[in-house]
Amino acid sequence: MRAFFVQIKCELGKSYQVANAIADAEIASEIFSTAGEFDLMVKFYLSEDEDIGHFIAQKVQTVPGIRDTFTVVTFKAF
């Protein structure tokens, strides 16, 4: 499995609804609220043969209330 993180900027006042929608979809490992430029940081796992870009476009960016995303691809956990 390959881990990656997505920082999510939500429409104003929608961060809890977005977090709940992602949790209800059961696609994320962990969901964190954050301060700063982005409202949420979400950890996902995909198998090596799955396309991260396609997953983000189809499963994450389609959640109502999301305004922008920033994906961080990871390599090795220590």
The domains of the chain are located at: 2-73
pLDDT score, position 48: 94
Q: Taking the domain 2-73, which CATH number applies?
A: 3.30.70.920
Range 18-24 average pLDDT: 98
- Cβ–Cβ < 8 Å for 32, 39: no
Range 37-61 average pLDDT: 97
Instruction: Work out the mean pLDDT of the chain and round it to a whole number.
Output: 97
24 falls in which pLDDT band (50, 70, 90)?
Answer: very high
Whole-model pTM: value is 0.94
pLDDT score, position 21: 98
The more confident residue out of 77 and 72 is: 72
16 falls in which pLDDT band (50, 70, 90)?
Answer: very high
- Cβ–Cβ < 8 Å for 40, 18: yes
